[in-house]
Structure 1
Amino acid sequence: MSTANGPLTPRAATGIPGLDDVLGGGFPRRRIHLLQGSPGAGKTTLSLQFLMEGVRQGESCLYIAMSESREEVASVAASHGWDLGGVAVFDASELDGSEEENTILEPAEVELGERMRAILTEVERVQPNRVVLDSCTELRLLAQTPIRYRRQLLALKRQLVEKDRTVLLLDNPSPESPDVLVQSLAHGVVVLEQLNPEYGAERRRLRVLKMRAASYRGGYHDFAIRTGGLRVFPRLVAAEHRAGATQPERCLTGLEPLDRMLGGGLDRGTSTLVVGPAGAGKSTLATQIVEAAARRGETVAVFAFDEPRATLLARARATGLDLAPYEEAGTVQVTQVDPAEISAGELIHQVRTAVERGARMVLIDSLNGLLQAMPSEGSLVLQVHEMLSFLAEKHVVTLLTMAQHGIIGEMLAPADVTYLADTVVLLRYFEAGGGVRKAISVVKKRLGAHESTIREYLPTATGLRLGAPLTAFRGVLTGVPEFEPGAAGAQLLPVQSP
């Protein structure tokens, strides 16, 4: 958060809640602000929302279109279901002269002068409080030289911001060389970016490059363009959500042997990572804890990356854990997430919203899916850390699952996040008695003691079963244990017939 006497500056709200949060309430009034971004980044959509919010507040608003016709601007608004009846749209592109009148240099200068006079005449007629000029690219081309271009921008700055006018200039700079000339003249600069991953939908993000004498939230903030306009997801800062200390409280898993392994259950405000190979039962174990919380009347938010909602509910029923009644009652809220269509910022915003609406437990199944929504492993670790810190401040029990690469023997994780979690539960396959079995162990718990035993883990149609400690085996976690005949240990769980 950048601060510079920001709260004292009157703001013009954009009508986009997430963006107003980033800007500290909106754009500072009576100033020129620059929206920079490549075509398709969302500049026009954002500026139209800015104007419509002004109309809603009873202000006069003017949209000056230099590169688009009035009909094209109206079609953009119609695609979002907007009515621009309260916004004056001035089509400056209609002022183009004929080919005979505009040939080389002097006609371009004449055309620039005519456009500027026409624009200022329209501003004087409408007397707007909010003005959008789309775009600076046309002025740059008509001016032809940097000196003339700067003079025209200075003239606009002097004449547009008077009489309580807040102005947005739109610009399409070259990605390799942003126009620092316009940036230096503007009071605030917001840069919009459109990223194109190798697979999936485009991702968009913005950042406030500068905002003189005003507070704003720094860094990149993901946003999406949906029917109805921009949705901005401000970067989560856990330090802004500090809460007071509370009495320690345990959250039981609904499985007594597992509670014993965990030293009495899970602690509120902590995160638990369930890690293991594919098919080892990570989601089933997490579902067991979710069902126990729902049975107690707690609200649980489930974000499922790896399977459709119907599959999740069917798998839960197959192990004696019926979540459907809790979902119908609103106690369990299942959100199916497509990592190819959502950014990490939007997902974390959804998690934050669920918690602010009363969720006391959050399950993310799995981090592998979240990783696909991240641009890099470094971003994954940083954003997961911030999210877990926020959830801890809100005293939420957080469950995370992560699939490791491999089945038997050495396992590798796509990203090492075990140090972020307060508790780590490890699931493993091992070979014994001519069959493939599953083992469970708690390898880490920050708060309090926990069992260091390794137990057999068996999902059944009537629920999960945990066996006694496997003291008669050595090397279970390697996948191929050795039986020690002289050791006193419990027998393996009987395998149920299909």
Structure 2
Amino acid sequence: MEQDLSLAEAVETSKRLNGTTFGDAVPTGVPGLDYITAGGYARSSLHLIEGAPGTGKTTLALQFLMDGRERGERGLYVSLSETREELMHNAATHGWSLEGIEIFELIPPELTLDPNRDQSVLYASDLELGETVGMVMKEVDRIKPHRVVFDSVAEIRLLSQTPLRHRRQVLALKHFLAKQGCTALFLDDLTQEIEETSLHSLAHAVIRLQQTPMQFGGDRRRLRVFKMRGREFRGGFHDYVIRTGGFSVHPRLIAAEHHSAYSDAAPVTSGIAELDKLLGGGLDRGTGTMIIGPAGTGKSMVCLQFLKAALERGEAGLVVSFDESRRVLLKRAIGVGVNLETYEASGQLTLKHVDPAEFSPGELAGMIRDSVEQGARIVVIDSLSGYQNALPEESFLALQMHELLTYLGQQGVVTLVVLAQHGLVGPMHSSVDLTYVSDNVLLLRFFEAQGEIRRTLSVLKKRTGEHEATLRELLIRSDRLQVGPVLDKFQGVLTGVPSFVGASSSLLQAQDNGG
């Protein structure tokens, strides 16, 4: 009965102080986290933020208080583990100012530090714990904040000495803050030997931050919402990064949540008649195309040809390059007769060179999604091997790509994905087989004829229409690509060493004779 009365009082107090309803969404200060939590934290409720030291709990909490400051809400940071100077320094590294945010640095009562004032009846820990909690309540009552951060409950745990006393003290703080209409974050650094989950039942929401070291490259950070009462949050793990400027969350891409109406009447052409004919007229909008073959066969050049045609039609594009530097990519684009810098300067094209050792899968998906929302109609990922290296767990590459290609397809985007195969001639194999998640598959190969290494192009799969079941030669000239006629006078081309069965040669000439 007493607990019901306290909660009822909390509701009324919240309405009176804030003019809002108990449980209304309070922005977290991090847009990605707002998306995951379906709006943010719950007003006048206690939220538990867990994570080992270094996972970013303090940064997340400061952004919460600064967001409140921008909205005209008073904020209080109660620190038992960091000094005011440390907090100010941490904020300055991100270019922040904590002006307008109250910082209450709790100092253990002098009574418990004075050896001449030993207690014979009460344990020092009993007195210190009670005074510490009392000091917090007194400060909250004085400032009357809308948002409170308590850093950290691990200190209360140490002072409490037993799980029961620890739970009771946190429960007392929870009810007191609710009566004051405060939205509270309690930080827990999980430094105890045995994981303590007794506070989960007291908190309205529990968010766990994790940091995983990689064998090479930077650490991977991700968070998970364990619970959030009365809210349909997005479960599972979500990547986040901490860079200069703060805490940034990249929600896991769920393709089913994103649908867009688009027109797919006309196919997307490449500007090369023979290549379009091979594809049955071109690529359909909303499809993903896998371009596979050994290194050097011209996979990236084919992608650039489609990109060139799209840019000339006035469409916006995105190129995500794992394997080539920006300088090399721009130079290669000149080989198909397009200056990408011109389109980039106008804002029509976005070029992103990604270091797979420092880029998380969630950050990559977020970057692609932002470009699509800004109008990109063609996306090139070069290559999938680099994307695979960006994933902490290779076993989930197929799921990641399925969600990404499904999302891009639902937005009507033409997606070109490059996948390098091992070997040069003869049998080939890939480190991963994702042809089944692609709508179209283009196969490039080397073959030897007349003492020269040549290239061939074919279409293995097209879900949305008919295509030629033929092999055509691909020639990379200094300023353009050329696709030749059907190689009907050769047999065994895909073996790498074909046999000539025709009456005369039908191969393309390396020298351009105007034909």
Q: Give the TM interval when normalised to the shorter protein.
A: over 0.9
Q: RMSD of the alignment, in Å? A: 2.1
What is the correspondence of 1:197-346 to structure 2 with a 5 Å cutoff?
A: 197-244=214-261, 246-346=263-363
Please say if residues 443 and 458 of structure 2, whose CA atoms lie closer than 8 Å, have aligned partners that are also in contact.
yes
TM-score by length of 2: 0.91
Deviates more, 1:100-109 or 1:160-169: 100-109
Pair 1:406-2:423 in alignment: yes
Question: Cα distance 1:459–1:177, how it changes in 2: closer, same or farther (>3 A)?
Answer: farther
Amino acid at match of 1:133: F
Amino acid at match of 2:39: G
Pair 1:23-2:37 in alignment: yes
TM-fit CA distance, 1:462: 2.6
Aligned counterpart, 2:167: 150
Q: Deviations over 1:130-189 (max 9, x none)?
A: 111111111111111111111111111121221211110100125985321111211100
Please say if residues 298 and 360 of structure 1, whose CA atoms lie closer than 8 Å, have aligned partners that are also in contact.
yes
SS of the residue 2:435 aligns to: coil
TM-fit CA distance, 1:61: 1.0
Partners of 1:165 and 1:191 in 2: CA distance: 22
SS of the residue 1:161 aligns to: helix
Please say if residues 22 and 44 of structure 2, whose CA atoms lie closer than 8 Å, have aligned partners that are also in contact.
no
Amino acid at match of 1:391: L
What is the correspondence of 1:175-214 to structure 2 with a 5 Å cutoff?
A: 177-214=194-231
Q: Deviations over 1:363-406 (max 9, x none)?
A: 11111111111122332211211111111111111111111112
Pair 1:58-2:72 in alignment: yes
Please say if residues 383 and 418 of structure 2, whose CA atoms lie closer than 8 Å, have aligned partners that are also in contact.
yes
Aligned counterpart, 1:4: none
Deviates more, 1:320-329 or 1:104-113: 104-113
Amino acid at match of 1:24: A
The percent of aligned pairs where both chains have the same amino acid is: 48
Pair 1:98-2:113 in alignment: yes
Amino acid at match of 2:506: Q
Deviates more, 1:260-269 or 1:10-19: 10-19
Question: Cα distance 1:59–1:102, how it changes in 2: closer, same or farther (>3 A)?
Answer: farther
Aligned counterpart, 2:509: 494
TM-score by length of 1: 0.94
Amino acid at match of 2:321: A
SS of the residue 2:214 aligns to: coil
SS of the residue 1:456 aligns to: strand
Gaps of 5+ in 1: 1-6
Gaps of 5+ in 2: 1-20
What is the correspondence of 1:435-454 to structure 2 with a 5 Å cutoff?
A: 435-454=452-471
What is the correspondence of 1:38-187 to structure 2 with a 5 Å cutoff?
A: 38-93=52-107, 95=109, 97-98=112-113, 100=115, 106-173=123-190, 177-187=194-204
Question: Cα distance 1:342–1:245, how it changes in 2: closer, same or farther (>3 A)?
Answer: closer
Deviates more, 1:406-415 or 1:23-32: 406-415
Aligned counterpart, 2:8: none
Deviates more, 1:135-144 or 1:310-319: 310-319
Q: 1:464 aligns with which of 459, 477, 481?
A: 481
Amino acid at match of 1:460: R
TM-fit CA distance, 1:496: 4.0
Question: Cα distance 1:324–1:57, how it changes in 2: closer, same or farther (>3 A)?
Answer: closer
Amino acid at match of 1:10: D
Pair 1:425-2:442 in alignment: yes
Partners of 1:206 and 1:381 in 2: CA distance: 22
Deviates more, 1:256-265 or 1:172-181: 172-181
Partners of 1:8 and 1:276 in 2: CA distance: 59
Question: Cα distance 1:8–1:377, how it changes in 2: closer, same or farther (>3 A)?
Answer: farther
Please say if residues 150 and 185 of structure 2, whose CA atoms lie closer than 8 Å, have aligned partners that are also in contact.
yes
Partners of 1:253 and 1:176 in 2: CA distance: 61
Aligned counterpart, 1:395: 412
TM-fit CA distance, 1:247: 4.5
Q: Number of matched residues?
A: 489
Amino acid at match of 1:140: R
Partners of 1:9 and 1:473 in 2: CA distance: 73
TM-fit CA distance, 1:94: 5.3
Partners of 2:393 and 2:52 in 1: CA distance: 23
